[in-house]
Amino acid sequence: MLKEFALHALGALANSNVLCQQSLCTPELFDELMTFIVDEKTSVNSQTVSISVLLNLVSKNSAGQMLLRETGCIPVLQKLFRETLTKSEIDFFNASLKEKYFLWNAVCNTLAAAVNNPQNKENQTICSSILPHVQTLLEARIQAEIIHPLCLLIGLTVAGNTPVKEFFISMGGLDVLADIFTNLAEDSRQNMPSAKMAVSVTCVMGLCIAQNQQNLILLLKNNGLKLIIDSFSASHNEIVGIIVSVVLQNCTIWAEQFLDKLLAYVSNEVSEMENQGRALGHLKKTKETLTKEQFKREEDEEQGPKTESVVGDSLQKDSDQEKALPKQCSELGAQIYHPSANDELESQLESPGGVVTAPEDERRAQQPPKEEQH
């Protein structure tokens, strides 16, 4: 009894003061606690107190998480977790199991603190071995005393750890959570504890499908978001309103993560298509060229022989002739109004009386000049 009092005091010091927590995180204390826990003479209550001290030492303390792993405490805690409560005992839960339940709850919380806040991937991988037993307990009778600790343990074990998420989903854990949520949602309008448990389940489901494109798509395809919202929105209770806001916040997070994944997927697909397009670019151009030539040939066959070049040559010739016409007219006018010397002589000889009245040049000088006609 004195030892239990001392352990209570140490646990309270570690919980209330960071410096005390760091001073107590020694391999010697962890070994002493493990020795006391596994001793067959140790009572269930003393085991519970000892594990509570471990919980206070590892909570929000990476050094405590590491010591818990290196001193071999995690396997001991896992063994207690499996053996303290079984599915058959939960189905017939009664007052005689309360003492064992407190021990189991302390083990569950300590394992949860060992894997996250801060996240510890090594401890997550080690603790993932108890997830099948967790699923077995989830399939038992739905009770808040069981659902809440298990949801906490599952959520922190899978958070930010893709391999552990895939392991939990592959063994059907997410399907079990979905079934539990459906049952709780149907009862949540009349039963507030069921509504609170449903929120815990949705939080775990969110952690399980976070950054998982396949599960996000399935959630949207099966109208899962609407089901979640409609399950709570019918109530006007203030607490239910808070629950709805939490669910909507989770939905927003899911939607944003899905959008990011979708954009990344589309970008990747476009890049692959561009690469394929470059590789097949020459073949595509050749195909387009052949298609255009075939279409042009078929069109020419329908319209008959071409006359465009002949007409073009004719129009070009006419244009050249029009350009040369002023020059020809000018030369012709010069010939008409500037007769040759023989013509001038014949004109003088044929004048009346055969007398030349004036030389041709003088007569021209006396006459007014005539305008040239073209």
Distance of alpha carbon 134 from the chain centroid? 31
Q: In this structure, what DSSP letter does residue 130 have?
A: G
* pLDDT winner (highest mean) among 5-9, 249-253, 288-292: 5-9
Query: pLDDT value at position 265?
Result: 77
How many angstroms separate the CA atoms of 25 and 57, rounded?
A: 7
Residue 220's pLDDT band (cuts 50, 70, 90): confident
Question: For 242-256, what is the mean pLDDT?
Answer: 72
Q: With 60 as the cut, is the pLDDT of residue 348 above it?
A: no
Query: pLDDT value at position 282?
Result: 59
Question: For 241-251, what is the mean pLDDT?
Answer: 70
Contact 134, 114 (CB under 8 A): no
Query: pLDDT value at position 100?
Result: 87
Question: For 189-198, what is the mean pLDDT?
Answer: 86
Contact 79, 49 (CB under 8 A): no
> What are the b/e assignments for 66-94, b being 16+ CB within 10 Å?
bbbbebebbebbbebbbebbeeebbeebe
Total Cβ atoms within 10 A of residue 266: 10
Question: What's the predicted TM-score (pTM) here?
Answer: 0.62
pLDDT exceeding 90 applies to what percent of the chain? Answer: 41
Query: pLDDT value at position 224?
Result: 74
Contact 76, 38 (CB under 8 A): yes
How is 309-349 classified by DSSP, letter by letter?
HHHHHHHHHHHHHHHHHHHHHHHHHHHHHS--HHHHHHHHH
Query: pLDDT value at position 356?
Result: 41
How many angstroms separate the CA atoms of 320 and 313, rounded?
A: 11
Question: For 167-179, what is the mean pLDDT?
Answer: 93
Phi, psi of 118, rounded to the nearest 5 degrees: -80, 160
Contact 101, 141 (CB under 8 A): no
Higher-pLDDT residue of 83 and 339 is 83
Q: With 60 as the cut, is the pLDDT of residue 373 above it?
A: no
Q: With 50 as the cut, is the pLDDT of residue 347 above it?
A: no
Q: How high does pLDDT run on average in the chain?
A: 77
Q: Count H helices and E strands in the chain, helices first.
A: 21, 0
